[in-house]
A = this chain, B = another copy of it.
């Protein structure tokens, strides 16, 4: 999995024998991710790959195909060539619509020879086509019938690494940062190449190397050189490097007295700094900025708007073709308004005020990566501004690395949400630019990748990385088909494995919702690390840091009233949707307590009271984990021992913790509502004091 051993000739490429390995000589430790090119033992045979042109990207595509032994028995001639190749052009295929990154893979006749053509308008297209071909074969597709055509619906498909320069990953649960800043730029760990391969295989084309809570040091010459070394490794795989920029860097690094975006010296400093970066990284993607949020500096420190700040940086990167991703995740400690409303309040008036190379990055929901959130009201509300959606792949609020929670359904749920701004308008259609006619479009995912050997802390966490990439390429793919692909590639393309694995996955996120935050509850996690239940927490300095702020439970009822009688946050949605959400009866029950404060004895659709329904949901979540354990146990004969054992262990932990979430939450709610546990359900194992006494001083992902 390291350096490429063979080089490719300048125009045509030799035959290379592939030894058919019957299996790995080392244990399955997950390092291979879904890129496992194993088939039943085959005899070795000649594989003929011809690459037209000798770019690093075409070389990467050829090497990738050669890693597999799918072609060992049949050995078709494979031609990797772009649309401008004379032979390809002569075929008069309809390739123009593929754009910069699309691909077409299929058999053609060249001369008299049946040839498997992998093509696109660019070598990146050919690379993506090569991975699509491998995916087709990894998932059990036939080598005889191949007709694969695809072009991405979203332009920027970007990972956000919240990696600090000291190697600690904020909200990271898979070991230290993959970037070994200390040995960069000298040592280019082979893992960087494997990271790029994995990303390219799912279409990710950008990576923000450092935490949005940024240090100015990442913009100093030594760190630019380190980023440049990574950019060199990633470039053949079509992946651009971006940096999170600390807005006050002109003060900290430049010695200026201000970082006011309208100060000419400040703009000049950023221009010079940007030019310096582009000298080292000619295809540098641009900046990601978290400004005036959770203590980060920003333009509002100087009474300027977010647009003023973003446009100043945009002007610096524009001559180089760079962009600025400006985050809308803002809430101010001085603002008593409902936290869920603040981003909209601040950004909506700026619609149309951003430079053309700025894209505003909006989290999927208005709070912060909860197990479930209604879609963010900014989607559809800023038609003149490109908005990219930000999902969290790492599971800060969903059990860290340990809980099995496949996020595909969550991504699909948000993307499929109807904004009701225009007919048929969904969040996906805002994100892919189709309803508002933007060409600058994007999806960002906060990465779950670390230096652990299995990259993401568990096998099933790899599925979330995979699903993010695939759904950024095409938000309409659907969570279940993506899960099937992943399971087939990660384990084996057998229905006996894929069916139960996908069954486990598809309900797993809903189970987390059920045992952590049923019926629209949010942010009831413990303080700081967000691990485990803490609905009772009420003593933190800022009101919106406290779970009681979000659930507002009292003797009479529970939930955050966001209608006119409350914060009126629903007014931020389209009038049609707001009307629907104004009435608890027409609000989806899964979002009920997000929008309404309702009585404990409210009658639900099931006929049960709210209280009985909540308890039922908690029990359903715990029960789902138990059922996943049974399904996984049944798979023991079909899965290699190392991966089976680790997952089985984690499922046992998850069941214990799901029970803890359920019991602690119920103990607290009962202390508030004074209600008895519904008949036929178990009382919490401990009293409330016991749950409150649990502390986890060294929970991961929570740098001080």
- Give me the interface of A with B, judged by CB distance under 8 Å: 1-3, 5, 21, 24-27, 29, 165-168, 173, 175-176, 181-183, 186-188, 190, 217, 400-402, 451-453, 641-642, 645-646, 649-650, 652-653, 697-700
Contact = CB atoms under 8 A, between A and B. Distances in A.
A27 B452 CA distance: 17
A2 B190 CA distance: 23
A649 B642 CA distance: 33
Nearest to A452: B451
Contacts of A649: 183, 186-188
Give chain A's interface secondary structure class: loop
Given A186-B652, A186-B653, A187-B649, A176 B451 contact: yes
Sorted from nearest, which 5 A-B pairs have the closest CB atoms? Answer: A2-B27, A25-B25, A165-B698, A176-B176, A166-B698
A646 B187 contact: yes
A148 B634 CA distance: 48
Contacts of A453: 453
Given A402-B183, A700-B182, A642 B3 contact: yes
24 contacts: A2-B641, A3-B642, A5-B641, A26-B26, A165-B698, A166-B698, A167-B176, A167-B700, A168-B168, A175-B175, A175-B451, A176-B176, A176-B451, A182-B700, A183-B402, A183-B650, A186-B649, A186-B652, A186-B653, A187-B646, A187-B649, A187-B650, A187-B653, A188-B649
A440 B489 CA distance: 56
A190 B642 contact: yes
Contacts of A402: 183
Nearest to A4: B641
A538 to B, nearest CB: 26
Nearest to A222: B696
Contacts of A173: 182
A57 to B, nearest CB: 22
A207 to B, nearest CB: 20
Contacts of A181: 698
A181 B699 CA distance: 9
Contact of A217 (B2, B168, B186, B698): B698
Given A3-B642, A21-B25, A25-B25, 11 more contacts: A2-B29, A25-B26, A173-B182, A175-B176, A175-B451, A182-B400, A183-B650, A187-B646, A217-B698, A451-B452, A453-B453
